[in-house]
Amino acid sequence: MKQRVLLGMSGGVDSSVAGYLLREQGYEVIGVTMKVWPQDCISRAEDKCCGPQAIADARSVAHSLGIRHYVVDEAAQFERLVIDYFSSEYQAGRTPNPCVMCNEKLKFGNLWSKAAALDCDYIATGHYAVIEHVVAEGSDPGRVDLRVSSESAGVSEPGYSYAILRKGVDPRKDQSYFLFSLRQPQLRRALTPLGRMTKLQIREIAHSLGLKVANKIDSQEICFVPGNDYKTFLRSHLGESEFHRGEIYDVAGNFVGEHHGIELFTIGQRKGLPGGFSRPRYVVDLDPATNRVIVGDADDLICAEFEIDRVNWHPVAGKACTACSASSLDEGQRTEVRGVPSQNGESGKPSPNPLPLEGRGEQTRVHSERRPRSSFEATVKIRYNHPGTPASVTPLENNRARIHLHEPQRAVTPGQAAVIYDRDTVLGGGWICRQEALVPA
């Protein structure tokens, strides 16, 4: 019998071609489009992934591919889990990342109930990321992309299935950053067929199939924030009365002026600040306790160390930090020790235990994962469009970690995700915490 896949269809070229590829790989594909715009969403009439045109385009593609298509109303959940989170983060002086939250809570979260109702084995999306499924059985060193019947098997038991999240091969489109917070139960039932392809290849396939979305422009903004004008959106969603007014100070503690809402500022911002200075001023800190906006010079934005919380460690993290970071092995040997295929496809066999038997680290009970025990070297991305920078990562208690950047970076922003990589493999990630106030109240 064919395995059945529920494919999230946004009406764009990526998810459309994903449907074709899955069908050609032998899956029975069912398309679903989430209606996520609430009635007061000011962009609901636009051609966005949360707008009605997206549904029409997805339905048209599904018809062309000969697959079933459904529309599910997730407007209430989208407002509660994504839009309210988006607004409350700005009110708390943090800069949100709604795409990460939408993936975790909706696309790979709530949508599973629909997939289960339709007797689907997997959920698939058009993300540019690679998810490898590994099954270990006793002395078998592990097999990739095979199903496992036991959902309760432990991390080192025969029959345990785990997933490895890796960067997509197209560096300009890689979206592994947005999937870092997915837990193993979510990753194990996820498929991302575009991960090993480039955007050019995807458009060529769409043209060859005659899909009407072949030339559809990619959205470069948050789907529910038209024109990327988040300030206008917040005014519409929250209302001016909900903004937290306060004062602006410089890093020396000097009063600079007043502001109309801490929600209107982000770390690194230059526009919208009082003038009259001999050199440019930037927002370097937001203090939600006092509603103070702190401004300073460009050098005041440089950060060498910070902490992250709500860390999600992937099973390969323990392998990477205990077997690789402290050794003198070359890159090929490191891949064999870790049991993760290298980017060029040459690798040792996957390990039957995604974490080493000795020094595996302590169990994080909340998510049934294990965190690495000691510091290790990695590459860290502090925002989606950041190229990544070498860092030392120290796991801490209570799902936290300390990140020490070998080269200090500009505008490390509380509320954004910091994702930890070993070359192309995601080891984990968490949410950047605000540090001690620069200007005491």
Residues classed as catalytic:
102, 223
Q: How many whole angstroms separate alpha carbon 121 and alpha carbon 30?
A: 11
Residue carrying the six token digits 């529309």: 71
Nearest-CA neighbor of 142 among 307, 413, 340, 315? 340
DSSP state of 70: E
Q: Computed from CA positions of residues 95, 99, 104, 110, in that sequence, does the dihedral angle turn out positive or negative?
A: positive
Q: How many whole angstroms separate alpha carbon 70 and alpha carbon 78?
A: 18
Residue carrying the six token digits 């030392």: 392
Q: How many whole angstroms separate alpha carbon 382 and alpha carbon 302?
A: 13
Locate 87 and state its tokens: 């607004």
Q: How many whole angstroms separate alpha carbon 438 and alpha carbon 441?
A: 9
Contacts of 413 (CB under 8 A, 6+ apart): 94, 95, 266, 267, 268, 382, 383, 432
**84-91 helix and 230-237 helix, angle to the nearest 10 degrees:** 100
CA distances from 421 to 299, 350, 390 (A): 27, 18, 9
Q: How many whole angstroms separate alpha carbon 311 and alpha carbon 57?
A: 37
